[in-house]
Structure 1
Amino acid sequence: MSRNYKVQNRFLFHTNIKIKIPEVYYTETVFDELYGILEDVNEKYNSYSENSFIDRINKNNGNFVEVNEEMIEILEKVVHFSDIMNGEYDITIMPLIKLWGFYKKSDVRIPEKEEIDEIRKLIDYKKIIIDRERKRVKIDAGQEIITGSFIKSYAVDKLVKEMKRRGIDDAIVNAGGSSIVAVNQMPEDEWIINVENPEKENISEKNEQGYVTHILLDSYREKNDEDLFDIKISDESYCTSNQGNTFVEIDNQKYGHILSPKTGYPGKNRQIGIITKEAFAGDIISTGLYNQSPEKFFEILDRLNREIKVEGYMIDEEGKIHYSKGFFEHIIKD
């Protein structure tokens, strides 16, 4: 039996966040209460929010800043994932992002290698000192934390927990298309997610089994493939990272915002897609895997799967798509 749903869309974390719930759970205040959870996280923990805990930590770099228990827990989890990925994911990368001109309105240029090497000395998540006993945090002088790769998804996970506490067992939250969480009571109940082509001018090429294997440029076709495929998720999340929307353009060349903490340069892969239980983990993982070779992609996935269930794919810089074995189970073939 089909259900009727109520949908609302609000702008938070610099993107549109859509919540869809069954009509039976709708009240005049339910959306205000649910979005209130996101707003609370945004106010307290987003590095872009004035006077948030992270904002205070950044502005007082080199000194301890008092925080609350939740801030401690968030940072400990982030550091743990950085450890698993051997520093391929690092939230102290903000000085490098600024060096590349992502917060400049003019005079954007490719940094000199010497400049990159000097700034990279500041990029080290292991220098984040978390004093759990005294509830305080310190970063090194000159360091700066950016939360863009995890705080939105953390907020969505917190929202989903509240939904389940209220008995909402059928819902979907879409945070800007890059973090999507499905809520289902039964495993056989699934939400269908459309996986977009990161480069709209390209077409997709399939193998004999019907799976997309490449995205290719075809300037002669009238209609290209804006979508790659559909996937199904049940009580889990789908997170994606690409450079399509956030980049600087220098001499007609686009340079994306996902930088490698190891090299200091933007990644050249096209897209990463990750399916995990919680969006917080998926968002971090998709960012950390973005700058990897296919071999390292699978190596890190294997390491992560010792702790949590993770499936994913990588579209490399040549447009070839590399899938984990378990990801095929989520793809809906034509």
Structure 2
Amino acid sequence: MSYKGSHITKEIKIIISLLVVGFLLFLFIKNFNEQKEYYKKGILMDTFVEIRVWGKDGDKAVSDCWEKLEHLADILDRFNKKSEIYKINSNSGKWVKVSKDTIDVIEKAIYYSRLTDGYFDPTIAPILELWGFYDKDYKVPEEAVLRKELKRVDYKKIQIKDSMVFVPKGMEIDLGGIAKGYILDRLLSLLGKYKIRGALLNIGGQIGVYGRPKEDNKWEIRIRDPRRLDDYIGSVYINEGSVATSGDYERYFVKNGVRYCHLINPKTGYPQEEIMSVSVISKKAVEADALSTAFFVMGDKAMSYWQKFADLGVIIVFKDRKIWYSPNIYFVKK
């Protein structure tokens, strides 16, 4: 059930500390002028999810958003045996009929794969499985085995015809690098039909915002420190859109003193060793999600690659703790 919060006075600052699988964010929401807060949280797709809405239609907005969220999670979760992605993967080598939503997100995954020259690739699943990131039986693969499995990774081999999807035998789709952003965009679009002042959506650490706390306010988001997980490196200020972070602290294991994370370069089969985290700020959540993954796995190439995207903001934290950020964002270091 939704939680209806108490009234918020002009001088109250709500500090929302999000300790989630993704990254740590503090969001400062100011001056809601006694707008009532409506709130719901839970676990979907094995990740923490929360919806916060302020305004007259907040209760209805939260309810409808949650219903849409559950629907999309049910069809896009590759581990859910009733999902359409599971259906595609378990029938590789055959054409599979799926919904318009699934076609839409797969088409977007292919689009961002092309846009990033394959650094983002939704067919990376066999490599993640080989490293043990699915069953948590972590291991560094043998080079020969890795080279063999890399032949199963190629987004160009996904075929779509009308409502049908085909992947070659042995290939699997994993939308973990784009599904959260896709769902956020769908929910943010849905919010436009309600009389609300503002909304904060959090899916596994990726944040989407709607409206503004006040006309002269921005949303302040503090980006998690990749090594001091109860601290932050600085704040980014946005009016709209989404912030997504990919980091080597989310899912990883250490062997012989080397940290290996689940963000694998589809071209090499290995994680990169230069960057600890990449945050991407975009008006489109799906873009922030996919590109934070792509920029992370490509390493320091991301410092120049981001310029292909005019409205994109990027924050990179390197292994030596140096911070680089694109000049087109309002970012304040701690």
Same fold (TM over 0.5): yes
Contact 1:172 1:181 in 2 (8 A): yes
Counterpart check, 1:130 vs 2:167: no
Q: Distance in 1 between matches of 2:72 and 2:215?
A: 29
Counterpart check, 1:149 vs 2:154: no
Q: Give the structure 1 partner of residue 132 of structure 2.
A: 101
**For residues 105 and 76 of structure 1, do their structure 2 counterparts lie closer, same or farther at Cα, with a shift above 3 Å needed?**
closer
Q: Distance in 2 between matches of 1:249 and 1:316?
A: 18
Once the two structures are superposed, residues 279-323 of structure 1 have per-residue CA deviations (whole angstroms, 9 ceiling, x without a partner) of 1110000001102232x2133212233xxx211021223322221
Q: Which amino acid aligns with 2:142?
A: E
Contact 2:56 2:196 in 1 (8 A): no
Counterpart check, 1:65 vs 2:71: no
The normalised TM-score by structure 2 is: 0.84
Q: Distance in 2 between matches of 1:18 and 1:317?
A: 31
Contact 1:42 1:49 in 2 (8 A): no
Q: Give the structure 1 partner of residue 260 of structure 2.
A: 255
Counterpart check, 1:310 vs 2:312: yes
Q: CA deviation at 1:260?
A: 0.3
Contact 1:192 1:230 in 2 (8 A): yes
Q: Which amino acid aligns with 1:58?
A: N
Q: Distance in 2 between matches of 1:96 and 1:82?
A: 17
Q: Which amino acid aligns with 1:265?
A: Y
Q: Which amino acid aligns with 2:314?
A: G
Secondary structure (helix, strand or coil) at the match of 2:328 reads helix
Q: For residues 46-125 of structure 1, what are the structure 2 equivalents within 5 Å?
A: 46-106=77-137, 108-125=138-155
**For residues 310 and 105 of structure 1, do their structure 2 counterparts lie closer, same or farther at Cα, with a shift above 3 Å needed?**
closer
Q: Distance in 1 between matches of 2:136 and 2:314?
A: 35
Q: Which amino acid aligns with 1:319?
A: R
> What is the CA RMSD across the aligned residues, in angstroms?
2.0
Q: Distance in 1 between matches of 2:192 and 2:313?
A: 24
Q: Which amino acid aligns with 1:36?
A: E
**For residues 52 and 104 of structure 1, do their structure 2 counterparts lie closer, same or farther at Cα, with a shift above 3 Å needed?**
closer
Once the two structures are superposed, residues 126-161 of structure 1 have per-residue CA deviations (whole angstroms, 9 ceiling, x without a partner) of 0001113xx211011111111111112211211111
Secondary structure (helix, strand or coil) at the match of 1:288 reads helix
Counterpart check, 1:234 vs 2:239: yes
Q: Which amino acid aligns with 2:48?
A: N
Once the two structures are superposed, residues 82-127 of structure 1 have per-residue CA deviations (whole angstroms, 9 ceiling, x without a partner) of 1111001101000000101113354x32111111111001110000
Q: CA deviation at 1:195?
A: 0.9
Q: Which amino acid aligns with 2:326?
A: S
Secondary structure (helix, strand or coil) at the match of 2:304 reads helix
Q: Distance in 2 between matches of 1:261 and 1:323?
A: 25
Contact 2:76 2:84 in 1 (8 A): yes
Q: Distance in 1 between matches of 2:40 and 2:99?
A: 31
Runs of 4+ in 1 over 6 A off after TM superposition: none
**Any gaps of 5 or more consecutive residues in structure 2?**
1-9, 11-30
Secondary structure (helix, strand or coil) at the match of 1:99 reads helix
Q: CA deviation at 1:325?
A: 1.3
Contact 2:53 2:61 in 1 (8 A): no
Calculate percent identity across the aligned residue pairs.
27
Q: Distance in 2 between matches of 1:119 and 1:90?
A: 14
**For residues 277 and 105 of structure 1, do their structure 2 counterparts lie closer, same or farther at Cα, with a shift above 3 Å needed?**
closer
Q: Distance in 2 between matches of 1:105 and 1:286?
A: 23
Q: Give the structure 2 partner of residue 6 of structure 1.
A: 38
Q: Distance in 1 between matches of 2:135 and 2:88?
A: 23
Q: For residues 168-183 of structure 1, what are the structure 2 equivalents within 5 Å?
A: 168-177=196-205, 179-183=206-210
Q: CA deviation at 1:45?
A: 2.0
Contact 2:241 2:282 in 1 (8 A): yes
Contact 1:128 1:138 in 2 (8 A): yes
